[in-house]
């Protein structure tokens, strides 16, 4: 199989967390050479990229008759899976030390004194970033995004 180098704005087939199908998505954030966040072209939902080929784990189906707020649990599970996915690719020597006056673009690996390694998921407004850490997502302050954002 030919490996195509992807970039933000490209279309990829990804598993949509909402439609629960493999559908066409637009990449909105990349981590290294892999899509990190995608926008579903079908439902318009934004979510973490999921490889379209389903990973067969030992646990195939959970006979869940629980009515506990499943949506939330799904998000956490998705985040955790995503974290596990990216964690193997993380090179802590490449991590940038987090600082409130630092600049962090989407896809940057940062090192936080409390939360450890985290991956910038999104820039929010002009001085906040959403970062995925092992224990979940956090909003952090940062300096105003640089002019190099496209
Ligand atoms: Zn969708």
- pTM listed for this prediction: 0.46
The token pair that represents 116 in the structure block: 């450890």
Report the pLDDT value the prediction gives residue 149, as an integer from 0 to 100.
46
Report the pLDDT value the prediction gives residue 146, as an integer from 0 to 100.
53
Report the pLDDT value the prediction gives residue 54, as an integer from 0 to 100.
59
Report the pLDDT value the prediction gives residue 95, as an integer from 0 to 100.
92
- C-alpha–C-alpha distance, residues 30 and 49, integer Å: 9
Report the pLDDT value the prediction gives residue 55, as an integer from 0 to 100.
55
Pairing of β 109-112 and β 46-48: unpaired
| Ion ligand 1: protein residues whose beta carbon lies under 5 Å | 16, 18-19, 40, 42-43, 45
| Ligand 1 centroid, distance to 75 Cα (angstroms) | 15
Report the pLDDT value the prediction gives residue 5, as an integer from 0 to 100.
81
Tell me the sheet residues that pair with 22. Answer: 15
Report the pLDDT value the prediction gives residue 1, as an integer from 0 to 100.
54
- C-alpha–C-alpha distance, residues 25 and 13, integer Å: 6
| Ligand 1 centroid, distance to 28 Cα (angstroms) | 14
- C-alpha–C-alpha distance, residues 145 and 150, integer Å: 11
pLDDT tens for each residue of 126-142 = 899 999 998 888 999 99
pLDDT tens for each residue of 63-78 = 555 555 677 777 778 8
Say if CB 81 and CB 96 are below 8 A apart. Answer: no
- The residue ranges of the chain whose pLDDT is under 70 are 1-4, 54-69, 144-150
């Amino acid at each position: 199989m030919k490996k195509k180098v992807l970039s933000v704005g490209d279309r990829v087939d990804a598993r949509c967390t909402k439609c629960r199908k493999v559908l066409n998505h637009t990449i909105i954030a990349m981590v290294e050479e892999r899509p990190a966040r995608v926008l579903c072209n079908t439902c318009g939902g934004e979510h973490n990229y999921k490889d379209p080929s389903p990973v067969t784990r030992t646990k195939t189906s959970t006979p869940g008759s629980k009515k506990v707020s499943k949506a939330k649990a799904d998000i956490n599970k998705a985040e955790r899976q995503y974290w596990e996915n990216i964690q193997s690719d993380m090179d802590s020597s490449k991590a940038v030390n987090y600082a409130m006056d630092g600049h962090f673009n989407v896809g940057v690996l940062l090192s936080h004194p409390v939360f450890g390694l985290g991956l910038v998921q999104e820039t929010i407004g002009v001085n906040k970033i959403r970062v995925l850490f092992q224990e979940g997502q956090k909003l952090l302050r940062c300096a105003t995004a640089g002019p190099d954002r496209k």
